[in-house]
Amino acid sequence: MPILAVPRHGVVALGLVVVALASGWPATAGAQVDHRHHHATAKALPEGLSRRVVDVRLPDVTVQQHDGRKLRFAQQFAGEAPVVVNFIYTSCTAICPPMTQILAHTQHTLGDRVGQLRMVSVSIDPEHDTAARLAEYAGRFSAGPQWHFDTGSQATSDAIQRAFGVYSPDRMSHTPTTFVRARGATRWVRLDGFATPELLIREAMGDH
């Protein structure tokens, strides 16, 4: 997996991800696991990562994907396919590159099964992140056809962020958070911190 260059304030975050991916995230005691969710496992979470099950009411807004296609945001989640969602912006040099690299590694790890998973990255800086800029960003991480990068108006992005409970008026203060809706599920797993590809696949695909 390529190592991305980040400024000094992002070195700690990226270093954590690189070490974790290399080591397989050793189990830690006291991890927060919601046993009510059918995909919860007895395995402890990586240190610094929390997990909880949440309800998300998808907003009725229109987004533009990085390939230029416009559609209702909720269309991407129709059916029972598993979904992974995160929030990024292309000029971010701290947490966004390692978060995006994790999803890139996730699709690589899935191999032939990657088409079963939907991946959505929502820009929190849509005024700057045009579809063309997101397309370039997607190419940088070798995003496959199952992975879409969404943009739109600032009001649209804010509505999506609020629906997932991650809105902040200052995008510089956003945190590494990933959401997973397992196959056939109606509720979402919220993972705060740097999730691993193994954990994302376990949550989304039911692998144990």
Six-digit token string for 197? 């590809």
Domain regions of the chain by residue span = 32-205
Query: What's the CATH class of domain 32-205?
Result: alpha beta
Using the Cα atoms of residue 59, residue 147, residue 15 and residue 41 in order, give the sign of their dihedral: positive
Six-digit token string for 125? 């800086």
CA distance 165 to 159: 10
Number of Cβ within 10 Å of residue 70's Cβ equals 10
CA distances from 100 to 55, 90, 142, 159, 169 (A): 24, 10, 10, 22, 22
User: What 3-state DSSP class applies to 73?
Assistant: helix
167, amino acid identity? Y
CA 130 from centre of chain:
19
Is there a contact between 204 and 37 (Cβ–Cβ < 8 Å)?
A: no
189, amino acid identity? V
Per-residue pLDDT of the chain (208 residues; tens, 9 = 90+): 443 444 333 433 444 444 344 434 333 333 333 434 444 443 678 889 999 999 999 999 999 999 999 999 999 999 999 999 999 999 999 999 999 999 999 999 999 999 999 999 999 999 999 999 999 999 999 999 999 999 999 999 999 999 999 999 998 889 999 999 999 999 999 999 999 999 999 999 987 5
Which residues are CB-neighbours of 180 under 8 A, at least 6 positions away? 82, 83, 84, 85, 188, 189, 191, 200, 203, 204
Phi then psi dihedrals of residue 6, to 5 deg: -135, 155
Q: What is the pTM of this model?
A: 0.80
Place of tokens 């999730």: 195
The widest CA-to-CA distance across the chain, in whole angstroms, is 45
CA distance 9 to 94: 7
